[in-house]
Structures are given as structure tokens and as C-alpha cells.
Structure 1
């Protein structure tokens, strides 16, 4: 997602026409914006999913080396998500700590109401 934001900022052409998110991650749990905290709960509630837990999320974020508030790690923190792409496909897993982030972004593309 952060690459899409950079493409828009740089005015690259042609514009992106769509996204495919397979169990996407859009915000580090420690950087959740206040206005969405009540909608991003799965990362706190689901800690026994096979292959992904809050511990593994923190582990991989640490390996990435950016602080939680870095927009490259937490693209939900970009001021706007306008003009990224007109279409998006989201694959969301029910037993996934990142589920609520994907549902939040999926709702954005459906209604275009996120920021």
C-alpha cells in the first residue's frame, strides 16, 4: 500500500488500476488511529491463529526495523487514501489477527469513506 501512496505522490503514470490484498496488514497494532481503535479489535482478540499471532506480528515488525508509526509499516496512517486505485479485491480470513484492518479498508473501497 505504501508503494501506491508513493506512486500517487510522485505522479507516476500510468495510474494504478487495482489492488489485490491477500490477508493484508495495514497498521501496526501500536499505531492504530484513535478513530478506528473500536473497529480494529481482532489483533487483540485472536492470539491463537495458526502462523500469525500478536507475538509474530511484533517480531516481523521489529525485523522490518521501522517504528510502528512509520507509514511504510502502517499505511492506515496516511492522511488520505484517495486516488490510489478505483478497484480492490480483499481476501479476509476469519481467524486472522489482521482481519479487522482488512475489513476497514474493504469498507473504504466499497464506500470511499475512510478519511
Structure 2
């Protein structure tokens, strides 16, 4: 695990690959199984004519009810500039079957997932992505997802906690009056959505087929976030029990999605750089 300020090794390896390159941004709509479409922003290098570029897909946060693709544009632009991947920021309206449609759409986006397929999200976007990664593994999705990006994920509802994790699960209570996310706001969201808390789709830490053979996973976790401990528990589960390669950066003293709420802070700029380097690690470009 790393705390912010100790990623110089990643930066030095990737520095020669970075630089301000001319990009193109395209708004597109990707079909999902029920016939509707979801809006997405697609980022590519203008100077790169290759169709063998890896794919980075990220779903924005917003507790399933607010936000847009622009929220993840900083990470997408940075990853495309640094590594030449095609980056896609997806909007929030998703069905569980979207992964197959996205794989089919990859070539039209100018990407080849066989060169690398990184998938993830921020907050509720990570909450959506994580079960889909598990389903992709279980259903032998092809091309397979090769890396997972989880930014401040929720992985275990308190209503579903088991004795195994209870002693490690303290931040929900200790940080219940957090700055950007509180227990009261989560309660309001839960009343609106009426989720099945014990379903692995809502609490993916409890996925019935476990976590073996999941792709390498990169975590960004906020130290003053009430979701902190479940993210740390999930990373520990992946790394120690399932042998999944992980990398973690913890932002001490900072609240949930501070990069959204205060984008001009130096910590937010550092967060964005770390996200890009994390994508590079998942692509095998950065050590």
C-alpha cells in the first residue's frame, strides 16, 4: 500500500512516455441490450493512426443519480496522452449486460481490447463496474478485462457485513458525519433505490464464486471517507486470499470524491496524475 507522495517510482518510469499531445474528443452513444443507448466521451490521439490501441473505460460517480461523462475527462485525457490508449468515459445509465455491447463496439471506437482492456469507475461508477468485472470473469467475456480501476469503491453494505470483516469495518461509524458523504445521505439514497444489500451485485466482496483470477486492480482510497475500510478490506481480500495483483494509494485526511468537489486543489491534481499512472501500471507500461 502507498500513501500519496510515494509514487515517484511510477512517475519516473512513465515520464518519458508523457507529454502534451493533440487529442480528439468525440461524443458518441453506445447501445445496450434493451435497445437504448448511453452517452460516452471518447478520447484518442490525433496523430496515432493505429487500430491496435488498448481500451480504458471508466464510469463516473454520482450515487447513481447525478453526474456526467465530463467528470472523468481528466483521467481519460491523461491516460490517452501518456499511453496512446482509447479512453472512454461512460455516463451512468447502464444495464448489467453492457459489457458485451462495449466489447463489440471497441473496434468502432478505434481500440483493440486484446492490447489491453482496463475497466473501472469512481464511487457509484466503481460500484457498477466491480460486479461487471466479476460477471465478465464468470461468463468468460472475450476480449477479457485485463485491469480494473477502482476509485473510492463501495464493496460491502453494513447490512450485509459478516463476522469475518466486522473488526476491520470501522470507517462507516467513525466517519459517518463526513464532509462529502455521510451516513444520512447514504440512508436517503438507499431509501430511493431500495437495493438488496446482501446481493453480490450490491456487496461484491461477497461474490459467490469468489475473487480468484480477477485482473490486477488499482485502488484510490480517501482516508477521511466513510467507505474507506470496505475498500481496504476488499483490496486485502484480493491480494492475500485470491492472489490478485493490487496497487493502492491512500489520500490521508481527504474526503470522498474530493477530486470532484475541489478539482483545483493540489491534492486533486496529484490524484489525477496518480490515476493516469495507475492506468499505466494496469497496462503494464509502468512498474
- Verify same fold: TM over 0.5: yes
Q: CA deviation at 1:92?
A: 0.9
Q: 8 Å contact 2:152–2:222 — kept in the other structure?
A: yes
Q: CA deviation at 1:24?
A: 0.6
Q: CA deviation at 1:63?
A: 3.0
Max Rg structure: 2
Show the counterpart of 1:39: 168
Q: Which one of 68, 71, 89 corresponds to residue 197 of structure 2?
A: 68
Show the counterpart of 1:82: 212
TM (norm. structure 1) is 0.86
Q: Secondary structure at the match of 2:223?
A: coil
Structure 2: state its 5+ residue gaps: 1-129, 243-287
Structure 2 vs 1, CA of residues 46 and 103 (structure 1 numbering), >3 Å: closer, same or farther? Answer: same
Show the counterpart of 1:57: 186
Q: CA deviation at 1:62?
A: 3.3
Structure 2 matches for 1:87-98, cutoff 5 A?
87-98=216-227
Q: Which one of 146, 149, 159 corresponds to residue 17 of structure 1?
A: 146
Q: 8 Å contact 1:27–1:76 — kept in the other structure?
A: yes
Q: CA deviation at 1:42?
A: 0.6
Q: CA deviation at 1:45?
A: 1.3
Higher RCO (CA < 8 A, seq sep 6+): 1
Structure 1: state its 5+ residue gaps: none
Query: 2:197 matched to 1:99?
Result: no
- How many residues were matched structurally? 112
Q: Secondary structure at the match of 1:92?
A: strand
**RMSD across aligned positions (CA):** 1.6
Q: Which has the higher strand share?
A: 2
